[in-house]
Amino acid sequence: DAGVIQSPRHEVTEMGQEVTLRCKPISGHDYLFWYRQTMMRGLELLIYFNNNVPIDDSGMPEDRFSAKMPNASFSTLKIQPSEPRDSAVYFCASSQRTTYYEQYFGPGTRLTVT
Amino acid sequence: GNSVTQMEGPVTLSEEAFLTINCTYTATGYPSLFWYVQYPGEGLQLLLKATKADDKGSNKGFEATYRKETTSFHLEKGSVQVSDSAVYFCALSDHHRDDKIIFGKGTRLHILP
């Protein structure tokens, strides 16, 4: 299995631009999670899906952030417009209901907004 | 609400030293407890878990015991290696409540050869 796949691995963009991060979870996994990691705030859960349905988006910082999961094998996290404070590493993770405690993380997308 | 508190790093040790990283938790229910590890440039991965009081999780020489009386889940290893250098996250999940994992802030570990 290829594991969780994220793209791009690195993204550098200017303030005000739209950014789209992509994730392909492990096949057969029921849950998908989006996290953000910074030195100051640590690892933050932004949103998670169960069977493609958003369950909890209380961690999404503000209306500039949106996430979708149109099918079981693809999810996007969009930031529009981007700001310098959005600079972070964004992780996608997936898990199965039967082993909910083991989340498989992707390699992350390092976003830099200038 | 549920939360996890772990010792701040960085922790720097010499190879073959004994390691302890402290972790305490606050939970209203009966959570499961975990340690995750993040190697440089990678995502987190599950290191070990314990699902009920007095359970001991172990993997790769690391151990942690679920202590309900002290609400603790300290990570230990008898003899660390340079390859253990990473960031370690204590975490909990109350599966009866929701499907989230709540992570601590992480403890960076440096092992010197």
Please, what is the average pLDDT of chain A?
A: 94
pLDDT for position A1: 64
pLDDT for position B28: 85
Contact between B99 and A100 using a beta-carbon 8 Å cutoff: yes
* Cα-only R_g, chain B: 14
Nearest-Cα distance to chain A for B36, in Å, is: 9
Contact between B95 and A108 using a beta-carbon 8 Å cutoff: no
Please, what is the average pLDDT of chain B?
A: 94
Q: Which residue has the higher pLDDT, A32 or A100?
A: A32
Interface of A with B (CB under 8 A): 4, 31, 42-43, 45, 48, 50, 55-56, 91, 93, 97, 100-108
Mutation test of the interface with chain B: which of A30, A103, A104, A110, choosing the one with the most B Cβ atoms within 10 A? A103
Looking at beta carbons, which residues of chain A come within 8 Å of B9?
none
Tell me if chain A has a CB within 8 Å of the CB of B46: yes
> What is the per-residue burial (b if ≥16 Cβ within 10 Å, else e) of B35-62?
bbbbeeeebbebbbbbeeeeeebeeeeb
Q: Which of A100, A102, A105 sits opposite B43 (nearest CB)?
A: A105
Tell me if chain A has a CB within 8 Å of the CB of B15: no
A36-82 pLDDT, tens digit each: 999 888 899 999 999 999 999 999 988 999 999 999 999 999 999 99
Nearest-Cα distance to chain B for A85, in Å, is: 19
Instruction: Please report which confidence band the pLDDT of residue B86 belongs to, taking 50, 70 and 90 as the band edges.
Output: very high
Tell me if chain A has a CB within 8 Å of the CB of B44: yes
d(C-alpha B43, C-alpha A108), whole Å:
6
Side chain identity at residue B28, one-letter code? T
Contact between A105 and B93 using a beta-carbon 8 Å cutoff: no
- Chain centroid to Cα A90, Å, comes to 6
Q: Which residue has the higher pLDDT, A52 or B28?
A: A52
Nearest-Cα distance to chain A for B7, in Å, is: 14
Q: CA-CA distances (angstroms) from residue B61 to A11, A27, B79?
A: 37, 31, 8
Q: CA-CA distances (angstroms) from residue A113 to A9, A18, A61, A80?
A: 14, 10, 16, 12
B47-85 pLDDT, tens digit each: 999 999 999 999 999 999 999 999 999 999 999 999 999
